[in-house]
């Protein structure tokens, strides 16, 4: 599902004008980005949790030359799905 698909689905389900739905979705994404930049934990009860964690430094390989490349430590966003959603997804 893309952002456009999400907006379209909300428009269909609620009848709210597309322009208003798009503004709300865009502001939500901006708010999430600000929270991630401040390393805040973002929790949506019944959906899941976003957490910023540090990836450890590691050694990778250039697939073309097979040369070793050092990859430095860096932050990344991790999502953990809630148990309520997890039980509804057949695996």
pLDDT tens sequence across 52-77: 999 999 999 999 999 999 999 999 99
Q: Are residues 47 and 89 in the same domain?
A: yes
Domain that holds residue 11: 1-38
Q: Are residues 17 and 60 in the same domain?
A: no
- Whole-number Å distance between alpha carbons of 16 and 76: 34
Q: Are residues 65 and 81 in the same domain?
A: yes
What's the chain's Rg over C-alpha atoms?
Answer: 18
Q: Is the pTM of this model over 0.85?
A: no
Residue 91 has pLDDT above 80, yes or no: no
Q: Are residues 82 and 54 in the same domain?
A: yes
């Amino acid at each position: 599902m893309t952002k456009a698909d999400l907006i379209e689905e909300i428009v269909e389900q609620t009848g709210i004008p597309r322009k208003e739905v798009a503004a709300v979705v865009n502001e939500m994404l901006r708010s999430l980005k600000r929270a991630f930049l401040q390393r805040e934990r973002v929790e949506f009860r019944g959906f899941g949790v976003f957490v910023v964690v540090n990836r450890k430094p590691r050694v990778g390989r250039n697939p073309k030359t097979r040369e070793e490349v050092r990859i430095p430590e860096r932050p990344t966003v991790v999502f953990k799905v809630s148990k309520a959603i997890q039980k509804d997804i057949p695996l």
